[in-house]
Amino acid sequence: MTIIKAYAYPHPPLAVPAVGRGEEEKIAITLAAFEETAAEIARLAPETIIFITPHNTLYADYFIISPGEKAKGSLSRFGAPDVKFKVSYDKELAEEIGRLARGNGIPAGPRGEKEASLDHGVMVPMWYIDRFYQDYAVIRISLSGREPAEHYRLGQSIASAAEKTGRRTVLVASGDLSHKLPGSTYGFAPEGRDFDRIITDAFSSGDFMPLFSISEDLRERAGECGYNSFMILAGCFDRRKVESKLYSYEGPFGIGYAVAGFSPGEPDHSCNYLDRHRSLILEKARESQALEDPYRSLARQSLEHMVNFGNILALPEDLPEELTKDRAGVFVSLHKDGRLRGCIGTIAPTKDNIALEIIDNAVSAGIYDNRFDQVNAKELPYLTYKVDILSPPEPISGPEELDVKRYGVIVSSGNKRGLLLPNLEGIDTVKEQIAIARKKAGISADAPVMLERFEVVRHE
């Protein structure tokens, strides 16, 4: 038995009357959908309900599958300490999910959970389910900072584990949509409506392919918290038709709440969304490679040579003169499917020429950027490259001499120094630019700093 049904649930704490104290009436459409789906779950009588939550401990490179045999929690932080929960974990299925995930190269398991208490991403949907049905074990799985495709692949492992153990399993993907709809206390962003439209259309149609088109920038601007939960849900139905239903959608507090349900249909290899997505990434990368100038081509060749042969590329003989004669600081950025995959650079020249600077920084971006795993040979065809050639930095008297599109910024305090390149997607103001540069350098927001600016010639 694989996943018998999956649901996408929002998790506003005020949906629980003891928290909402009347405010829950403003999301009556959502509450009606909660009750309808909870009654469905009771009729399905699952042995185990897997909760995917964005509100437990989150690691950049690891999915936590909550350990132990039991857990409890309450809504005390939301003013309702008497609303309490106690659950028993399905250890056998949890261990099988972890084993299969790790076997597929997905880092997942019970290590590193810092908060054993249930979080509201689990408890809010659970409060409604428990009103209709209580005879089930629980698994709680956290999101990670890994790319969306890895969340989808985890969903594949979850479905395989449920099938292997024979568990009658329901999955609940907990997550709100945009927090930036009109009237939101988080502020308004038009991208919030775009994000919610793509998600709800996918929920209505049962076609998960559009989820892969959502960029990291759109997600950030929309201020969502459910996207990767929904990617795990989608992965549970890989290569299978889905019968879907969007029970409700509303956003009265400026936050999008959607309730949807998905039932497995017949196997269908046209629903291999991950493979189709990889084909699109590969096609775009090949198009990018066909348009490479000598700067980007050298960066790509440098990393590919290191990954494939384990040593530094020898300086090619047919390079343009400006690459072999001039010196400058250089940044090399790697991207995969529009997401940053590594970035290393030098503010001032450290090599005899720009070409050597590119070779060194391209290798460092792929191998030594400790924010990411090392690039492996399988990834190489999917990568695109950007090379920025920096002008010498010049001191400035204040932020008014910056332009976020034209100038990069260097922020210095004592021996701490942070740099941010100009014209980066999602960074629209000088204030944001300086704040991010401070954060990169570990400089506090109120510490006095010296500012420098520089321009770049960008090859992308």
Residue 340 lies in a domain: yes
Residue 286 lies in a domain: no
Q: What is the pLDDT of residue 338?
A: 86
Do residues 67 and 208 both lie within one domain?
A: yes
Q: What is the pLDDT of residue 426?
A: 80
What CATH number is attached to the domain comprising 324? 3.30.700.20
10-residue stretch averages of pLDDT, the chain, 460 residues long: 92 98 97 98 98 95 97 97 98 98 97 95 98 98 95 98 97 98 95 98 97 93 97 96 97 97 92 92 94 97 97 94 96 93 95 98 96 94 97 94 94 92 89 93 92 95
Residue 284 lies in a domain: no
Residue 282 lies in a domain: no
Indicate the burial class of 324 (C-beta count within 10 angstroms; 0-12, 13-18, 19 or more). Answer: middle
Do residues 186 and 240 both lie within one domain?
A: yes
Q: What is the pLDDT of residue 269?
A: 85
CA-to-CA separations, 137 to 45, 191, 414, in angstroms, rounded: 11, 38, 55
Residue 281 lies in a domain: no
Do residues 269 and 145 both lie within one domain?
A: yes
Do residues 252 and 298 both lie within one domain?
A: no
Q: Which of 222, 247, 275 is the last residue of a domain?
A: 275
Do residues 271 and 297 both lie within one domain?
A: no
Q: How far is CA 30 from the centre of its chain?
A: 26
Q: How far is CA 415 from the centre of its chain?
A: 33
Do residues 380 and 251 both lie within one domain?
A: no
Give the residue numbers spanning the domain of 245. Answer: 3-275
- What is the value of pTM for the model shown? 0.88
Q: What is the pLDDT of residue 1?
A: 58
Do residues 445 and 308 both lie within one domain?
A: yes
Q: Which of 247, 275, 303 is the last residue of a domain?
A: 275
Residue 112 lies in a domain: yes
Any residues with CB less than 8 A from the CB of 103 and at least 6 apart, and which?
Answer: none
Q: What is the pLDDT of residue 270?
A: 87
Do residues 156 and 193 both lie within one domain?
A: yes
**300-311: buried (b, 16+ CB within 10 Å) or exposed (e) per residue?**
bbbbbbbbeeee
Q: Are 196 and 256 in contact (CB under 8 A)?
A: yes
Any residues with CB less than 8 A from the CB of 21 and at least 6 apart, and which?
Answer: none
Do residues 37 and 134 both lie within one domain?
A: yes
Any residues with CB less than 8 A from the CB of 43 and at least 6 apart, and which?
Answer: none
Q: What is the DSSP string of 86-122?
A: EEEB-HHHHHHHHHHHHHTT--EESTT-S--SPPHHH
Q: What is the pLDDT of residue 113?
A: 94
Do residues 37 and 182 both lie within one domain?
A: yes
Q: Which of 275, 306, 338 is the last residue of a domain?
A: 275
C-alpha 47/C-alpha 423 separation (Å) is 52
Q: What is the pLDDT of residue 271?
A: 87
Number of domains in the chain: 2
What CATH number is attached to the domain comprising 212? 3.40.830.10
Residue 287 lies in a domain: no
Q: Which residue has the tokens 């956003």?
A: 251
C-alpha 360/C-alpha 378 separation (Å) is 21
Do residues 300 and 252 both lie within one domain?
A: no
Q: What is the DSSP string of 277-325?
A: HHHHHHHHHHHHHHT--HHHHHHHHHHHHHHHHSSPPPPPSS--HHHHH
Residue 70 lies in a domain: yes
Do residues 397 and 424 both lie within one domain?
A: yes
